[in-house]
Chains A and B, each alone.
Chain A
Amino acid sequence: MCEECGCHTPAGGAPSRPHTHPHARGEAHDHPHAHAHGAGHAHTHDPATRTITLQQRVLERNDRAAAANRAWLAERGVVALNLISSPGAGKTLLLERTIERIRGRTACAVIAGDQFTDNDKRRLDRTGAPVVQIETHGACHLDAERVARVLPEVVRDGTRLLFIENVGNLVCPAAFDLGETFKVGLLSTAEGEDKPLKYPALFVNCRVAVVTKTDLIPHLDWDLAKCRRFLQQVNPGIYAFELSARTGEGLDAWCAYLERLVA
């Protein structure tokens, strides 16, 4: 008997359904499909297996939800940025400093994703912008359906810029379209310069890259030129900002860019 599915040829008979599959022990066989019928009738059988070929995105359901989010946001004239980085790259501090600078002119809103806690929401609440925290309870990424559920709450009349701070993770969030206008990949100087090469699935999909914590460069063996080169290597033409949210270095150019997006 085959260990794969328990099929075997009983004495004097054939298995009930023809099928083929590899066998664990390397024995090959195909099952003949002819047999006598007790009831004395004869017929031909349809093949008992059928193969359907297709070309269907596995994340189709997520993509549909993402397309609906995109249309919903576009109708309201909202530009949505999906911010993705490893944990600790400085997404939250960057958003705090950014919103403080521009909120007088540009109405912002934030969706913050974390596995647990609303710590980020509590920090961002101080900026005065509407903030909704999504706790994913273990999931390593946000998905479009989760975002759809909170959009009406966080996007208010007049909101122009929506920041979606994804769960800190350089791998998984890259696979899930949320309906954002574009993705922003962040990497801090405390990480390796070669992050773009190690995690290309994210960086090829970003329109913008932000190098954070530039104030630490003097204290690190970290090569900015190399990092710039690697970013251009995986994504030629990617728009890159270099800044420190702590010192404010580079924030003017970043904020001016964001405001031009909604001007």
Chain B
Amino acid sequence: MHELSLARALVEQVETIVRREGADAALAVTVSVGALSGVDREALEFAFPLASEGTSLAGCRLRVEETPVELSCDDCGQTTRPERMDMVCARCGSRGIRLTGGMDFLLRSVELGMREEGAAAGGPGRSDHV
């Protein structure tokens, strides 16, 4: 199970954003997991709270969007979704295809909890602790 490594990489990435934005905490994180990314959704959901413990992501919610495999056909130019990992153009049946979707594991959005003092001061005073 490599999802703990992945969850740690994700937490590290979000912590950088929390610091950069001068936020208090990350409240929710959305990721997209490609069907061919080699990432198992359930294992990731299990590992994420463990990796967030003791960080600014403690208690953060994880939303996982699953992205399907997409093929772009060199012969007919269409983008289609294969069935059952059969990498053939669903429109014209060609195997002259390129994978254009479903490979990536991406961080898509972070909901940040902003520091109250900065807001209450109403000014630029988003104190930077970097």
Q: Is B57 an interface residue (CB 8 A)?
A: no
In the complex, A29 Cα to B76 Cα: how many Å? 51
Q: Is A172 an interface residue (CB 8 A)?
A: yes
Considering only CB atoms and an 8 Å cut-off, how many residues of chain B contact the other chain?
Answer: 47
In the complex, A201 Cα to B105 Cα: how many Å? 12
CB-CB under 8 A from B90, the residues of chain A are none
Known contacts A60-B13, A139-B5, A143-B5; A53 and B109 CB within 8 A of each other:
yes
CB-CB under 8 A from A201, the residues of chain B are 36-38
CB distance from A172 to the nearest CB of B (A): 4
**Chain B 103-125 per-residue mask, 1 if CB under 8 angstroms from chain A, else 0:** 11111111111101011101000
Within 8 A of B (CB), among A16-62: 16-17, 19, 21, 43-62
Known contacts A51-B109, A57-B106; A175 and B39 CB within 8 A of each other:
yes
Q: Which of B17, B38, B59, B116 contacts A202 (CB 8 A)?
A: B38
Would you list 26 pairs from A and B whose C-beta atoms are within 8 A, ordered by A residue? A5-B59, A19-B27, A21-B61, A43-B120, A45-B119, A49-B114, A51-B109, A53-B108, A54-B107, A54-B108, A54-B109, A55-B106, A56-B107, A57-B104, A57-B105, A61-B13, A143-B5, A172-B2, A174-B38, A202-B38, A204-B87, A205-B36, A233-B88, A234-B87, A236-B87, A236-B97
Q: Is the CB of A58 within 8 A of B122?
A: no
Q: Is A90 an interface residue (CB 8 A)?
A: no
CB distance from B40 to the nearest CB of A (A): 8
Q: Is the CB of A200 within 8 A of B23?
A: no
Known contacts A175-B6, A236-B97; A48 and B116 CB within 8 A of each other:
yes
Q: Is the CB of B61 within 8 A of A233?
A: no
Q: Is A197 an interface residue (CB 8 A)?
A: yes
CB-CB under 8 A from A104, the residues of chain B are none
Q: Is the CB of B106 within 8 A of A50?
A: no
Q: Which residue of A lies closest to B30 (CB)?
A: A53
Most buried by B among A16, A45, A53, A172: A172
Q: Is B9 an interface residue (CB 8 A)?
A: yes
Q: Is B77 an interface residue (CB 8 A)?
A: no
Chain A interface size, as a band, is: 35 or more
Q: Is the CB of B110 within 8 A of A171?
A: no
Q: Which of A17, A51, A61 contacts B116 (CB 8 A)?
A: A17
CB-CB under 8 A from A21, the residues of chain B are 27-28, 61
**Chain B 25-69 per-residue mask, 1 if CB under 8 angstroms from chain A, else 0:** 001100100001111100000000000000000010100000000
CB-CB under 8 A from B5, the residues of chain A are 139, 141, 143
Q: Is the CB of B6 within 8 A of A58?
A: yes
Within 8 A of B (CB), among A166-186: 171-172, 174-176
In the complex, A233 Cα to B83 Cα: how many Å? 11
CB-CB under 8 A from B12, the residues of chain A are 61
Q: Is B95 an interface residue (CB 8 A)?
A: yes
Known contacts A60-B13, A61-B12; A49 and B112 CB within 8 A of each other:
yes
In the complex, A183 Cα to B122 Cα: how many Å? 54
Q: Is the CB of B31 within 8 A of A200?
A: no
In the complex, A17 Cα to B111 Cα: how many Å? 14
Known contacts A46-B114, A175-B37; A59 and B9 CB within 8 A of each other:
yes
In the complex, A183 Cα to B13 Cα: how many Å? 27
CB-CB under 8 A from A46, the residues of chain B are 114, 118-119, 122
In the complex, A247 Cα to B110 Cα: how many Å? 56
Q: Is B15 an interface residue (CB 8 A)?
A: no
CB distance from A70 to the nearest CB of B (A): 18
